[in-house]
Amino acid sequence: MSNLTIILINAIGIPCTHLAISCLCTRLPLKYFSKPRIFLKTARWESHFYKHFLRVHRWKHLLPDGGAWFAGFKKSTLSHHSSQYLERFLFETQRSEICHWLQMPAIATFALWTPAPWHLVILVYAIASNLPSIIIQRYNRARLNNLLLRLRGQDR
């Protein structure tokens, strides 16, 4: 393959891969994301870590809300405080996180035909373009879980 061909494949293929996986995940029924998954469960320490160490609340607004691009669930702000809405929001954070985990290996496959040292750029890009969004979804999920616990405590 010529360098120009590789550049074109990567320049077109990588953004299309991002969008295709996002579109697919948005179109899947919510039931696929509402089941508890061990790797999606947030630990108690995460809320503190994301807030005080990574300061997610200060930069999360800088990333786009991809769910809104495909007529999906908007996660940029809380629009209600009902238990039902918060649970839906919680499931949507799981959908988003799974989507970004899927994007990393899909984009990393472009490194297979990309010559050194540029294949490393693709691998770094695959991580750097998805990890911040995964962190945001975990941060939001930890906060939503705490909010739901408080809300349910008041319902009794």
Distances (CA, A) of 107 to 6, 13, 28, 77, 149: 14, 9, 21, 29, 37
How many structural domains is the chain composed of?
A: 1
pLDDT confidence of residue 156 = 43
pLDDT confidence of residue 37 = 77
pTM, entire model: 0.88
DSSP secondary structure, 88-109, as one string: HHHHHHHHHHHHHHHHHHHHHG
Q: What are the average pLDDT values for consecutive 10-residue runs of the chain, which has 156 residues?
A: 92 95 90 80 86 92 78 71 85 92 97 94 96 94 86 66
pLDDT confidence of residue 65 = 78
Query: In terms of residue numbers, what domain contains 61?
Result: 3-155
